[in-house]
A and B are shown apart, each in its own frame.
Chain A
Amino acid sequence: MLRCTSRLICGMGIAMAISVSLLAAEPEAPAVEGTSSTSAPTDMIEQLGRPVALHVRPETVTLAHPRATQQIVVTGSYADGSLRDLTPYCDWQPANKELLKISSSGLLTGLADGQTQLVIRVASLDTRLPVTVQGSQRPVPVSFRHEVMPLLSSAGCSDIRCHGAPSGKNGFRLSLWGSDPDLDYMQLTREGNGRRTNAFAPHDSLVLLKALTHVSHAGGKRFEYNSTYANLLRDWQQDGLRDDPQASGVRSLEVFPAQRVLHAPARTQQLAVKATFENGQTADVTHRTAFASTDLAVANVDRTGKVAFHRQGEVAILCRFLGKMESVRLAHIAAPAAEYQWPEPPENNYVDKHVFAKLKLLHLTPGALCDDAQFIRRVYLDLCGILPTPLETRDFVASSSPEKRSQVIDRLLQRPEFTDFWTKKWMDVLRVSRDSIQLTGATAYQAWLRQQIADDRPLTEIVEALLTSRGESYTDPAANFYCVAPAPAEVTDPYYLQKDLAEATAQLFLGVRLQCAQCHNHPFERWTQDDYLGLAAFFTQVQRSRLGKAGPKGRPDRRQMAIAIDATLPEITRESREGTVPPGLLGQGAVANDADVDRRRVLATWLTGRDNPFFAKAVVNRLWFHLHGRGIVEPVDDFRDSNPSANDPLLEALATDFIAHDFKLRPLIRAIANSRTYQLASITDATDRNAARYFSHMLARPLPAEVLLDAICEVTGVPENFEVMQDYLEGIPTEAVRFPAGTRAVQLPVNDISTLINSSGKYVRYELHPFLRTFGQPNRTQTCECDREQKFSRRQALEMVVGPMVTDKLAHANNRIEQLLATQTADADMLQELYRRALCRDPSPATSAALLEYVATSADKRQAWEDVLWTILNSQEFIYQH
């Protein structure tokens, strides 16, 4: 066994290293070999039950090419309305066996010209399929583009781990997934001293010898001698190694079935792929398609296009043929349909309609509605990052208004804390840090962003302002969008800024991670290097400069920056090809390039247009993520075909609503928070998280670091005093900027608030607040929500159990305990007050009795209350959002 060691390190933030062993002897797919009929496994047929009717796809077949094939898919419809794939269990009998042969999996091949019928029998039903075979004896040379190229993909040769790696394998390099037929043709026919192919003795060609492992091949045996694959490769060589660059490209792929839910006992589904070519012709290309499952833990798919589920769940099957990709959604439900009953919960709005439809489809049961106490805590924390006061909780719970939940939501949306909290969420991914733009820049940026959100300005306008900004970072706050991109100590890539901005823009506003396309075409996706560089080209006119006198050498340069547009700056060039890269929009290609126009405006106009296919979905998914702890697409900024969303119609509907409300945050957040889905009971048990993926429950999760700190301050009655050292350029800062008393962690303009100075005064570094860092506050160096790690493990537990933050606040001379004791509050009232502050509810009678007894029997009453409050603060119910 030989090792492939290609390593791709993609971009900032995502270090993707692939180094994979390939192994030998993948069994050849049985389908293509087959004989005319096979005995159906009768026990499976019995299990599947008796269908009411059979549906055969396609309804007629014409095989008009000597090597044409047709995948037949036979579906049974059942009395309960379900559909099951019966293809593997059919008995296939051509009326004229001279004309046809068919494999056990239903792949039809013509033998001689004529018309006949295929008799299909299964589960005591039968049906007939008319078949016409034409031109079966016509000599048609093997097409390099239409037959050999797909073969190289579906046999795995042009895989990223094999010869499709950027540097190839063992000197033999193919384009990834056959994206570049010209290159592949040269590689096969000219490179490697021409030994790879041999028109005179194809059996001696290296491609065949290697693929059949007649000589040692690190990638193992790819197919069998005399298989369709081997025969095609042989015949193509024998036919003279011809390329056919004029071959028609593919216009579209159609996969059957586009979507299906398989109820147990059904757990397999045969797919059929039909290609429509540019010239209008169509063909069944099932056996030439490369299939892949997005979640092999749930289902896999073999080379013939047969999907088999291992367990309950949903997958997308990606189907690639000649550079086109189409995906289909399949789900499997393990429990028998009869045992499932939809509880018919009421729907509050369109969110519920789509979420419930999906839950029903997958036979999942939504949780109950959460109670009022849980709701008010949840919605305060999610919308404003604060706990409700005991008074607010009491009034809310006591209210009998049927509209009280939506009224609370409306009130919260208008509170300044809402603006603080959602400003902060954007600042986290906009990379606002002292290290990049100093406290002065960050404060200005924060104030500007805050104003936009306070005014509920459409997000399209905010994004447009950011993208087209210019000026100085301290006085033109939006320009900080460009200032935060880090400059490397030593510039090795002249386009580092443009690439950074392209990646940031794609990830933040399009929900697309382009990082991988920096070095190569994305291994799983549609984005190419041209897309990546095209987007970067929108930023080539951006000129960044530092203002003022430089500080001492050897220190990070933190001077103010200015952003200007300079149309004379050089265009991006490519290493591999001649010429410059014109600006291009994702999925649309190059755009007209007018030297007088600020290109960024073209980008911004496209990005924020009502018909932009990415923007609205990317934003609503992010908002949903903040309210549910999980995106509809997850990770939240990673939209791609191989990462299917949990609910496409929901995403569509939210995006439509967002656009209808002029891209404003509040209406959309209002819609989500008012849905019953948002108000469902929570779960912490991880085994149910598969269901939580589809939002059957609210997922309990640790509070964000800042919110937790603010909550501790609120409950203990001891605010945190935040101090930041002044900005400086020379020497070391001497004075601190003290934020006003009562400033919450959520309101801080920067996360790196601690200043570390070593004793020689040579290094000054900024660090996160220790408590906030422990609880996963991001250091804002990435445009990724993943930079925040909301986990609760030993480290966080230690911080809560004995950390200085909690300890000091519990022991503080004038904390809430002291205040309550000073006013001679009765023990029971005091416990109630602490419970209501921290958990928004009253203690259970048993707990109340136990805790009060603990206090009563303790020698030191103040200490005993500290212990009680410690216990409340160290409960999961306090530390988690739920």
Chain B
Amino acid sequence: MITMLGSPRKCCDGLTRRETLQAGGLAMLGGLFGLPPTAAAAAANANSQRPAKAKSVILLYLLGGAPTQDMFDLKPAAPDGVGGEFKPIATTAPGIEVCELLPESAKWMHKSAIVRTVNHKAGCHNPMPSLTGYPEPLPSIGVVQDSLPPSMGSVCEFLNHDRGDFPAYVHMPCMLGWGQHIRRAGPYGGFLGRQYDPLFTECEPTSDKPSPGQYHPQVVLGTPQLPAAKLPPGITLDRLNKRRRLRQQIDDLLRQGEDGEFQRAQESALTLLTSKHVRDAFDVESVPADIRDRYGRTLFGNSALIARKLVEQGVQFVNVTWDIFWTRPGKIDGAGWDTHQRNFGILKETLLPNYDQTFSGLMEDLAARGQLEDTLVVVMSDMGRTPKINKHGGRDHWTFCYSVLFAGAGVRGGTVYGASDDQAAYVKDKPVSPADICATIYACLGIDPEMQVPDSAGQPVRISLGGRVINEILA
């Protein structure tokens, strides 16, 4: 298990990250408080016995607050105006039922675990708890503050020291919130630094026809692409390679070995632009048609397919977000999972069938390629939705109880953790915080959730922000 693995990158004070973590971060803590360094180091290494179960994680992120009581935690016995319109069906895991609109996902329940009691008090549409574990409300969810804790993917990138052509952390299909002209907090490097922000892809969302209204979303089509995947006009791959070679000719007085911070960054950028591996991973056209159909040829489906290909190439953390596109041309989807009106209509017409297709397609493809052995798939949302159905047939914001699904590598299949009350309104048994979810994901990846990293003030902070690993759902 990785506990103190840092990259050999240097910090501003000349320590490598590894040294900073070991000595600067941890030991500094001991130092300030008079604990000997061995004690501080041992504190950090405690609990570090678990081996990595998953090499990578694909996070299917349902932005807007998925009504998980209509997906994974149905309450058919709940009174009218609460329970919803859908019926539960049996799954491959005895005793576990899911929504009737998820028949394909139901076939993977023996490989999945559902946590039914996730809750937080960090406010609505705040992606910070789910992506970082940070439990506090933000002054504004549309302001990205560099002092906030890092996302899970950024921690992976921070620890990633031997990468080839790929970064460790990719976020698809676009910068979070781009579809509504908001830069939503959450998926960033935070106090670790902007260099650990994800590689955000870009997309041009389209649909078959325009949306008649905000709560009549269309299926969003499109394919995520690398930023600068389209080289600027006049710059061909050939010309870029020429320039790349020309770079070696120039007498740069500051040039150091290939490991200098500048050289590494430039090399990594050029590799992204010119690497066949990277281009191949983003090339969905060459994937056999039946497999593409299995994922669904939607933006979400294509993103999941690329995620599978990225994971194959060793990318450790891939975020596939179901984003909302309302202020972009075409006004395709004004709701996403934020179903304030027509909750059941939207779920039935677009959300659940498409989700079901992509999730099961991803699981099938991962299994067929042997990648399910070392890939963890997590399905989660920034929050849940109200038990009470409002007068528009919608469900409003709710952070007090919702479900998160784990599947694949490291997961004890066919398990349910925690229980909600009979309206799926509040936690009845075993509450789970978003930080616990993060800790559990870290544990699957073999990263010690107790590991400490220095924040912007140089103070040590645990990556899981106090979260506890849910061992009960792990194999």
Contacts and interface: CB of A to CB of B under 8 A. Distances in A.
Interface of A: 1, 3, 5, 7, 9-10, 12-23, 26, 154, 156, 159-161, 290-297, 300-303, 486, 488-489, 513, 523-524, 630, 634, 638, 642, 682, 684-690, 692-693, 700, 756-760, 763, 765, 767, 776, 781, 786-787, 789, 791-798, 800-804, 807, 811, 839, 843-844, 846-847, 850-851, 854, 863, 867-868, 870-872, 874-877, 879-880, 882
Given A15-B191, A21-B43, A686-B14, A870 B243 contact: yes
A297 B23 contact: yes
Contacts, number: 256
Contacts of B180: 758
B455 A296 contact: no
B460 A300 contact: no
Interface string B245-260: 0110111111110001
Contact of B460 (A20, A292, A786, A880): A20
B265 A690 contact: no
Interface string B138-176: 010011011111000000000000000001000000000
Report, nearest first, the 5 A-B pairs whose CB atoms are least far apart.
Answer: A297-B23, A689-B14, A296-B31, A686-B10, A793-B195
Among B36, B143, B234, B266, the most chain A Cβ lie within 10 Å of the Cβ of B266
Contacts of B460: 18, 20
Contacts of B288: none
B33 A876 contact: no
Nearest to B27: A296
A429 B136 CA distance: 26
A797 B269 CA distance: 6
A719 to B, nearest CB: 20
A300 B194 contact: no
Contact of B254 (A20, A781, A867, A882): A882
A789 B32 contact: no
Interface residues of B, number: 91
B254 A159 contact: no
A293 B33 CA distance: 9
A178 to B, nearest CB: 13
A295 B28 contact: yes
A159 B269 CA distance: 46
Interface stretch (B99-107, B202-210, B225-233): B225-233
Contacts of A793: 194-195, 261, 265
B146 to A, nearest CB: 7
B89 interface: no
B370 interface: no
Contact of A684 (B29, B262, B455): B262
B231 A802 contact: yes
A26 B37 CA distance: 11
A291 B43 contact: no
A851 B233 CA distance: 24
Given A1-B46, A868-B246, A759 B262 contact: no
A156 B36 CA distance: 11
A687 B15 CA distance: 8
Among B32, B193, B227, B461, the most chain A Cβ lie within 10 Å of the Cβ of B32
B55 interface: no
B273 interface: yes
B235 A807 contact: yes
B457 interface: yes
B149 A293 contact: no
30 contacts: A14-B457, A16-B461, A17-B466, A18-B461, A19-B461, A19-B462, A20-B29, A23-B46, A293-B31, A296-B28, A297-B19, A297-B22, A300-B27, A488-B139, A684-B256, A685-B256, A685-B260, A692-B14, A757-B181, A758-B181, A759-B326, A765-B142, A776-B194, A800-B266, A801-B240, A871-B250, A875-B247, A875-B252, A877-B255, A882-B254
Given A26-B39, A794-B199, 6 more contacts: A295-B31, A296-B28, A296-B40, A684-B262, A791-B195, A798-B228
Contact of A16 (B146, B242, B459, B462): B459
B327 A867 contact: no
B14 A687 contact: yes
Contacts of B246: 851, 854, 867-868, 870-871
Interface string B265-278: 11011101100000
Contacts of B35: 26, 156
Contacts of A804: 232
A638 B465 CA distance: 25
B253 A18 contact: no
Contact of B32 (A10, A16, A292): A292
B210 to A, nearest CB: 13
B192 to A, nearest CB: 11
B124 to A, nearest CB: 13
